[in-house]
Structure 1
């Protein structure tokens, strides 16, 4: 057996995703619903914001939320998260989890009804990773 350490390995990531998805389905009896995305584009077709994540069973996780600088403060972030939550509900999800560094947007998520469930210290610059959760029935 040999271990190889390196940077990004798309082939390995795809293999692990498939293998863990199969394992989780066998262990729980719940099939993977899959990836979730919401894309916002302007009139020229340029991406101005988006959300990525996944749903599985009754849970959803937001991996990334981004809004282009010139669109921040316009309500686009709220629209993106609300669209992701609506799709999660459509897929049968009852809760959403997300994490956001203290220098990013934990207060934004709190305003949308998310509750802090924990923190992971040690982020560069003295920051923390804030873990948040929301019951979708709270709306």
Structure 2
């Protein structure tokens, strides 16, 4: 494990105007190493289910999440406005649920604002387990989860 400080001096506390992705990765990597050393391997892994334009191949939407400690966290879900109502959001979520089953996850959790899609997730069987009132002001933020039942294949002993 690489040392956290190379100097004996106190570290600087700075607030960058535009945080760098490399700084994010440095913090994330250090946190994952700490968590793994303290609580055992987290199995941290990024997960994506993408919507791509059939002509350009450009990613136009999709789902982004992370696997950690036997749960899949859905961080992002986006379907372009003109494609909504065609079942794409449901397809993205079903693919994520299949990934969670294949990885023997206990469940999936996510958060959504009141102006986004809490009813969409509830319709897919997600249950409310937390609420942050007035975030953003005038609406609430909801935390939802769904317990995953393993498939027959993923439930077989190794």
CA distance in 1, matches of 2:44, 2:13: 32
**Selected match of 2:47 from 24, 36, 39:** 36
Q: Which has the larger radius of gyration?
A: 2
Structure 1 residue 21 and structure 2 residue 32: aligned? Answer: yes
Q: Is the 8 A contact 1:57 1:92 kept in 2?
A: no
Q: Determine the structure 2 residue equivalent to 1:5.
A: 15
Structure 2 alignment gaps of length 5 or more: 1-9, 152-158
Deviations 1:14-57 (A, max 9, x none): 11110111111112212424000000123212434200011123
CA distance in 1, matches of 2:150, 2:40: 27
Q: Determine the structure 2 residue equivalent to 1:51.
A: 63
Equivalences, count: 139
Question: RMSD between aligned alpha carbons?
Answer: 1.8
Q: Which runs of 4+ in 1 moved over 6 A?
A: none
CA distance in 2, matches of 1:124, 1:30: 35
- Which stretch shows the higher mean deviation, 101-110 or 41-50? 41-50
Structure 1 residue 68 and structure 2 residue 80: aligned? Answer: yes
TM norm structure 2: 0.81
- Which stretch shows the higher mean deviation, 46-55 or 77-86? 46-55
